[in-house]
Copies of this chain bind each other. A is one copy, B any other.
């Protein structure tokens, strides 16, 4: 069995904000993998409110401090929702820049360690979700171009009553236990994640 060190880098959904179990989807993945007999060092680098611009600025220093060059390091990115939020009438990060940031992050990361990306989950408001759905799709195109495996979770979570109800009953953005269970299961069933656990 390998001993992997995995950095999960992103926003509040990566952090697991709102989850009473303090695991989020990233922690759930590591618990499940350890149950299968893998030893995993789990580094959660999700920060609430961060856009792709902010993540681009800090991810590398944080990852390099955690993954020694000779270690079996892995990187999982997930962000996007904060980019499309409005601030004083404008999106926090323009569409083209979001894609540029993502391309730059991924091409740098994949030179260091195996890298995969999980798309942003949906929010509650329809007009936000329209922009976010497009961004989520476009992330897929960026990932394909740079050959980083990408998992889109937006469509299936948008159709989930569990997700919607938990988010609505909480803070309008983050789910609780059942929502993070659901998101974790989507990633767990993904071939790119599974290929790390062979």
Q: Write the residues of chain A forming the contact surface with B, with a CB cutoff of 8 angstroms.
A: 5, 15-17, 20-23, 27, 30-31, 34-35, 40-44, 47-49, 54, 58, 61-62, 65-66, 68
Could you tell me if B47 and A20 are in contact, using CB atoms closer than 8 angstroms? no
In the complex the two chains form, what is the Cα distance from A31 to B5 in whole Å?
Answer: 23
6 contacts between A and B (CB under 8 A): A15-B41, A22-B23, A22-B34, A23-B27, A43-B44, A62-B62
Chain multiplicity (copies): 2
Question: Who on chain B is nearest to A16 by CB?
Answer: B42
The answer on a CB contact under 8 Å between A21 and B15 is: no
- CB of A99, distance to nearest CB on chain B (Å): 23
Q: Is the CB of A42 within 8 A of B20?
A: no
A23 touches B20 (CB 8 A): no
